């Protein structure tokens, strides 16, 4: 397996965390679990293999162009065949800039992007299949994104506001802090909650919990600190609070996770 990241162009840097390519030469079937990341993604399947995700206790094949909504709980996936996957990882607040739907409708599911955007996505997918040059593939994706960016230009002020709010609430979702942030932006706390959900699919509390969880995964992967130190470094009240949240997002306690690190999640933490 190989996983590589690529930076976006300067004009798309405020919206795209990175592009990535995932390639697997092995046709061995395996099952894995994807954990909440706080970000939405679009994935173009360009290889001969297929992916399936668990939906209502059944594994269903994912579409050729996948839109990953906010994953808020562990999601089981299954791989068959060799893969080449080209992905777009948006910032938490920025996917809403490119899609007209309220982002929360995509939570905990993998949708067919062609059903949402239409024929331009099918054309782009065909173009990506016609070239194997990664630079050309990224240029094609960026041209597509720039057209979406221009067509949704009116959203720019609201998106910037949401980004500022998310930055302000990191590690402090107390009622008093939310009231202060809402006052700073001349909105009510209720509208602040609504604004964040519309553009991220998450409540402020869920956003904060996923952020802390993701930081804990990074620290666990480094294997340099005991779990108690990791818990406090990530803003948990105590180790039991940390273990409870970690198990909710992964299905494992932190110590059990260390013995069950899966291939895909190991790559995603790199």
Q: Where are the domains of the chain?
A: 2-151, 154-202, 205-268
Q: Is the pLDDT of residue 65 over 50?
A: yes
CATH class of the domain at 2-151: mainly beta
Query: Is the model's pLDDT at 266 over the cut of 70?
Result: no
pLDDT tens digit sequence for 16-52: 999 999 988 877 788 888 999 999 999 999 998 889 9
Mean pLDDT of 44-66: 93
pLDDT of 147 > 60? The answer is yes
Determine phi and psi for 72, rounding to 5 degrees: -110, 0
For domain 205-268, the CATH superfamily is Homeodomain-like (1.10.10.60)
Helix, strand, coil content of the chain in percent (nearest 5):
50, 20, 30
By DSSP bridging, strand 83-90 and strand 58-61 are unpaired
Model-wide pTM > 0.85: yes
CA 8, CA 21: separation in Å to the nearest integer?
Answer: 13
Close Cβ partners of 259 (under 8 Å, ≥ 6 residues apart): none
Residue 270 has pLDDT above 50, yes or no: no
């Amino acid at each position: 397996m190989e996983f590589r990241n690529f930076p976006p162009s300067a004009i798309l840097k405020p919206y795209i965390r990175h592009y990535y390519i995932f390639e697997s030469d092995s046709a061995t079937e395996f099952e894995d679990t994807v954990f909440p990341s706080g970000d939405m993604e679009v994935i173009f399947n360009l290889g001969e293999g297929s992916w399936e995700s668990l939906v209502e206790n059944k594994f269903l094949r994912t579409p050729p162009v996948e839109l990953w909504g906010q994953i808020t709980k562990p999601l089981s996936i299954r791989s068959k065949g060799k893969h080449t996957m080209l992905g777009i990882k948006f910032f938490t607040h920025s996917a809403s800039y490119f899609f007209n739907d309220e982002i929360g409708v995509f939570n905990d599911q993998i949708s067919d992007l062609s059903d949402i955007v239409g024929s331009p996505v099918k054309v782009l997918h065909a173009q990506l299949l016609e070239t194997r040059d990664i630079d050309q593939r990224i240029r094609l994706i960026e041209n597509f994104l720039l057209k979406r960016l221009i067509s949704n230009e009116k959203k720019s002020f609201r998106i910037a506001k949401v980004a500022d709010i998310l930055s302000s609430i990191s590690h402090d979702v107390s009622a008093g802090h939310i009231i202060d942030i809402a006052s700073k932006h001349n909105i009510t706390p209720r509208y602040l909650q609504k604004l964040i959900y519309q553009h991220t699919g998450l409540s402020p509390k869920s956003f904060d919990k996923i952020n802390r969880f993701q930081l804990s995964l990074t620290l666990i992967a480094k294997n340099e600190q005991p779990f108690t130190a990791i818990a406090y470094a990530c803003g948990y009240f105590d180790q039991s609070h940390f273990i409870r949240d970690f198990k909710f997002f992964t299905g494992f306690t932190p110590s059990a996770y260390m013995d069950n690190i899966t291939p895909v999640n190991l790559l995603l933490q790199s």
